[in-house]
Structure 1
């Protein structure tokens, strides 16, 4: 069972903390992008050419907002998986510590 252990207790705890922060931040960003927050317009990937060639430009920008929001939710899901992996590493480290004693 110790072969599944690939990081120490401090690194695993750090992974949990960083993952929790990443999930909170990315979920909030995903929500704000999904509701088309005007403050985040600089983070939406569009160009002036996109604005000129598309007659329905507000809808195109809203679509880009939604795509960025979905990407934030996907990244938050990845952070949840990393938090779960880090939690498993913490438990394996504790189990290994008890076996050594």
Structure 2
């Protein structure tokens, strides 16, 4: 039998939270990489990053950086979801073997 680390309720909670985290962070990553204007307050910009001309490359680079970070966090949530799914399976196997 595999390495059982958490119970069935904790595994189910981890699966629900990770699926919501993947959806939320994937959407945020998409919106950041498409340079959504409503998310400008969440982009770490300084006064030097704000363009004085019409070429906003620094701002777009900051948007893309935050978007990539969101995609990385979503991938971590996928890994947590897979771990929780494996834990749920191990708990079901343990329950089946006990009966």
Pairwise TM-score range, normalised by the shorter structure: over 0.9
In 2, the alpha carbon distance for the partners of 1:17 and 1:86 equals 9
**Equivalent runs, 1:1-101 vs 2, <5 Å:** 1=1, 4-51=3-50, 58-101=56-99
In 1, the alpha carbon distance for the partners of 2:23 and 2:72 equals 13
Q: Which runs of 5+ in 1 are unaligned?
A: none
Displacement of 1:50: 3.0
In 1, the alpha carbon distance for the partners of 2:90 and 2:25 equals 28
Q: Are the equivalent residues in 2 in contact too, given 1:15–1:86 (CA < 8 A)?
A: yes
TM-score by length of 1: 0.91
Cα-Cα RMSD = 1.6
TM-score by length of 2: 0.93
| Equivalent residues, number | 99
In 2, the alpha carbon distance for the partners of 1:85 and 1:11 equals 11
Q: Are the equivalent residues in 2 in contact too, given 1:12–1:90 (CA < 8 A)?
A: yes
